[in-house]
């Protein structure tokens, strides 16, 4: 049994849990969650721990660690246990000559977390390829496969996004944060990548925007790009002791809001269409607000990555309290300069960002 949650998270931060159980299959996971619910025991589900920021005080309940790792491929359909390492899932799909997931290579964490977060990178989101999710519905004790349309998948979120540090809740008919992902299923393509829409990746591949390449080529280039930004886990590299991008890219309502940002910056800003307005680059805003790579604000245990300003990192001696203070400083600095609010992407367990000082 791990003594601290820091042993289960990619940030390597987090205090102890009251109890710990390791689950090797979907059935075992459902059974253990049901046992905890019957006893009124708070539950924290942990897969790869790549999207969790856990309080220094830890978690006053049971950690259910998802370790089932089966990956099955039949034709162009791939099914994986929730505990399967996500990059192993992507690798298996590419090795089978299947396209769709290759741009999501190198993302740390488990397969079960991908629909919760609607994981995305380099112009591709899980929502584009997800076929179904097997859920344990804690309100009823039933297990069923559900369609992606029921999950409310949106930019880095879904109806499932919230740590399950509680008992069963919600209507029996509704998908919600109390439900537990047991397995995921993807419907992929045979022999060609997803359309390459992300400019940086298209240039690296020498491909036209919207074109396709061999999945193995796209995967190799994505991994190279992620490594250059400290976004592939490496125990020897403190720049990878993180949750990846700490803030989501903010969405502003209209061109007038973009113009205000550009006036404050004195230059044009990258912008992308979004369902609710115009998406801006959080990393660009952070840098233009005066936060350089490696910025620590006088702290010794945490800093921005030396490779990528959107990642907040543990330098080996950090605490969650320190990390969240740095996050708040960055958030407040961006708002002071541009009037744009940044929101954290990871799930905070027993912790929260300090209140804004503005």
Residue 355 is a catalytic residue? no
Report, as an integer, the average pLDDT of 37-45.
Answer: 96
Given 12, 67, 138, 156, which residue is catalytic? 156
Residue among 50, 78, 117, 82 at smallest CA distance from 215: 78
* Contact (CB, 8 A) for 356 and 336: no
User: What are the phi and psi torsion angles at 18 (to 5°)?
Assistant: -70, -35
Residue 242 is a catalytic residue? no
Query: Rounded to an integer, what distance in angstroms lies between the CA atom of residue 63 and that of residue 22?
Result: 8
Q: pLDDT by residue (tens digit) across 307-354? A: 999 999 999 999 999 999 999 999 999 999 999 999 999 999 999 999
pLDDT recorded at residue 171: 43
Query: Rounded to an integer, what distance in angstroms lies between the CA atom of residue 194 and that of residue 98?
Result: 10
Residue 245 is a catalytic residue? yes
pLDDT band at 288 (very low <50, low <70, confident <90, very high): very high
Query: Is 164's pLDDT higher than 60?
Result: no
Query: Rounded to an integer, what distance in angstroms lies between the CA atom of residue 239 and that of residue 294?
Result: 9
Domains of the chain, each with CATH number or no CATH:
5-66 (3.30.43.10), 71-227 (3.30.465.10), 238-349 (3.90.78.10)
* Contact (CB, 8 A) for 186 and 93: yes
Given 102, 287, 322, 345, which residue is catalytic? 345
Written as one string, the DSSP assignment of 114-155 is HHHHT-EETTEEGGGTEEEEEEEETTTTEEEEE-GGGGT-BT
Strand pairing report for 189-190 and 98-99: antiparallel
Quote the percentage of the chain above a pLDDT of 90.
Answer: 91
SS3 assignment for 215-260: HHHHHHHHHHHHHHCCCCCCCCCHHHCCCCECECCCEECCHHHHHH
Query: Rounded to an integer, what distance in angstroms lies between the CA atom of residue 228 and that of residue 296?
Result: 21
Strand pairing report for 130-137 and 180-187: antiparallel
Q: How far is CA 221 from the centre of its chain?
A: 20
pLDDT recorded at residue 165: 47
Given 245, 305, 329, 331, which residue is catalytic? 245
How far is the CA of 89 from the CAs of 25, 81, 104, 148, 309, in angstroms? 16, 10, 10, 19, 28
pLDDT recorded at residue 168: 56
Report, as an integer, the average pLDDT of 188-217.
Answer: 95
């Amino acid at each position: 049994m791990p003594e601290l949650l820091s042993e289960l998270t990619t940030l390597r931060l987090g205090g102890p849990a009251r109890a710990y159980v390791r689950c090797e299959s979907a059935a075992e996971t459902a059974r253990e969650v049901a046992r905890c619910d019957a006893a009124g025991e708070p539950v924290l589900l942990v897969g790869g721990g790549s999207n969790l920021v856990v309080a220094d005080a830890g978690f006053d309940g049971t950690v259910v660690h998802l370790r089932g790792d089966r990956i099955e491929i039949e034709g162009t359909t791939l099914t994986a246990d929730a505990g399967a390492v996500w990059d192993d899932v992507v690798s298996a799909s590419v090795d089978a000559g299947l396209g769709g997931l290759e741009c999501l290579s190198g993302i740390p964490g488990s397969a079960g977390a991908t629909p919760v977060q609607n994981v995305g990178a380099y112009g591709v989101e899980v929502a584009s390829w997800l076929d179904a999710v097997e859920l344990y519905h804690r309100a009823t004790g039933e297990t069923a496969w559900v369609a992606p349309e029921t999950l409310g998948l949106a930019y880095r979120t879904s109806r499932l996004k919230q740590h399950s540090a509680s008992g069963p809740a919600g209507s029996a008919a509704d998908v919600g944060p109390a439900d537990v992902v047991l397995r995921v299923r993807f419907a992929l393509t045979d022999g060609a990548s997803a359309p390459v829409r992300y400019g940086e990746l298209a240039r690296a591949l020498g491909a036209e925007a919207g074109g396709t390449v061999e999945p193995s080529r796209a995967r190799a280039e994505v991994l190279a790009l992620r490594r250059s930004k400290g976004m592939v886990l490496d125990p020897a590299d403190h720049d990878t002791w993180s949750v990846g991008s700490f803030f989501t890219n903010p969405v502003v309502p209209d061109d007038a809001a973009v113009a205000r940002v550009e006036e404050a910056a004195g230059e044009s800003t990258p912008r992308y269409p979004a369902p609710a307005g115009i998406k801006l680059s959080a990393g660009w805003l952070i840098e233009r607000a005066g936060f350089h790579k490696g910025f620590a604000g006088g702290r010794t245990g945490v800093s921005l990555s030396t490779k990528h300003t959107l990642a907040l990192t543990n330098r080996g001696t950090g605490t969650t309290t320190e990390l969240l203070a740095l996050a708040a400083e960055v958030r407040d600095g961006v708002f002071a300069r541009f009037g744009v609010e940044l929101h954290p992407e990871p799930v905070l367990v027993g912790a929260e960002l300090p209140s804004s000082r503005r």
